[in-house]
Amino acid sequence: MSNFREDFPIFKNNPNLIYLDSTATSQKPSLVMDWLKNYLETTYSSIHRWLYDISEKSEKLYNDSKKKVAKFIWTDSYKEIIYTYNSTYAINLLTSSIWLSKQLKKWDKVLLTEVEHNANIIPWLILRENIWIDIEYVKLDRNYNLDLDDFKNKYDEKVKIISFTHVSNVTWQIFDLEEIWKSKRDDTIFIVDASQSIPHMQINIKKMNCDYLFFTWHKVFADTWIWVLWWKEKLLKELKPSFSWWWAISSVGDNCFTYAKIPDKFEAWTQNISWAVSLLKAFEYIEYIWWYEVLEKYENELVEYFLDKLKKYKNIKLIWSNDSKNRLWVFSMVIEWFHSNDVADLLADNNIAVRSWKHCAHSFFDNIWIKHSFRVSLYIYNTKDDIDSFFNIIIKILNNK
């Protein structure tokens, strides 16, 4: 398994680096980087507008990458895929377009979970300031799953949007969204933030039955570049994009314009063509590691190993789920008497990269007794040796208290 590490040049160039921050962003395999360099040296050009050779080739590669994405999440048409800059941008584009299209009105309600990432809270708060919608937060139950009773109580006839994360970037519990879509009415739009699930599991959009799904690919071997799936072509056609320019518009006069067809209507800007094209190789890399099966098997192995080691240290508290089945290979922890930022600093002094503080879920942390945590996140290039090194430094920290 540890062979995968060799595919990632960052570790050749930083042999002592122990990278435990992959949920923030993942490292890139040489397959992706070499392909990108080759593309930039041989084929790079503008797309959509020109007929010369490299532009046509680039356009084909761009569309091929969308076709891969469509197949990957089991949707029928690549035209339902829209590329934006990242998840944050995607949800902002969606909320502002919903606003512009008047799909929400005063006192309509939006349901979120109490562990949403700021990216899926702030755009709704902005809408609340402008059109007076209500926002309610569904609580977690004792096992850190969605509290379905609380959901049922809050899901009244005023709810027009449900926007939930699939996997929380705080608790790392995988939410069972089946119960949500099963009880969802036709007058409600169901949005899923898959930013943390896509790096670890395959998503079948037909089974998940949501209306919009958004995620980011820089957490899965490609760079800071993302797509949004606006599932359900019908909804996409009804939505007006909140900003636009040529290419998103099919004709323009002094006093009039018409929108282009989907997906162009939502891709007004010059695309990040090279990184879209690089996705083709990120997929190839996933295929090379036998899709998610190997990832999942290895993940379970490292989770067990980590949890087993953790048991020995009574003053390190793993917060939220300690369930080794319905969780990802990410661990949020606190150490008695230590500020999480200090722990992260001491680890950084020893070349160990982790993340600390409120993990972009400020309102959640502000409402509970734990005010911050530090987080270890593993990926395919991590090994048991990395986990051992992490605990060796933790022992030093504890001993020097």
Ligand X SMILES: Cc1ncc(COP(=O)(O)O)c(C=O)c1O
Could you give the residue numbers annotated as active site?
360
Cβ-count burial 231-243 (b if 16+ within 10 Å, e if not): bbeebbeebbbbe
Enumerate binding residues for ligand X (CB under 6 A).
Answer: 86-88, 117, 119, 165, 169, 193, 195-196, 216, 226
Cβ-contact 33, 285 below 8 angstroms:
no
Residue placing its CB nearer to ligand X in the complex, 228 or 316: 228
Nearer Cβ to ligand X, position 193 or 211? 193
CB nearer ligand X, residue 214 or residue 298: 214
Q: Which amino acid, one-letter code, is at 232?
A: K
DSSP assignments along 310-366, one per residue: HTT-TTEEE-S---SSSB-SEEEEEETT--HHHHHHHHHHTTEE-EEE-TT-HHHHH
How many whole angstroms separate alpha carbon 390 and alpha carbon 397? 11
Q: Which residues pair with 229 in a beta bridge?
A: 81, 213
Looking at the Cβ atoms of 124 and 260, the one nearer to ligand X is 124
Tokens describing residue 111: 């349901």
The DSSP call for residue 388 is H
3-state secondary structure of 373: strand
Shortest distance, CB of residue 22 to ligand X, whole angstroms?
11
The identity of residue 355, as a single letter, is R
User: Helices then strands (H, E): number in the chain?
Assistant: 14, 15
Min separation Cβ 308 and ligand X, Å: 26
**Nearest CB to ligand X, comparing residues 368 and 395:** 368
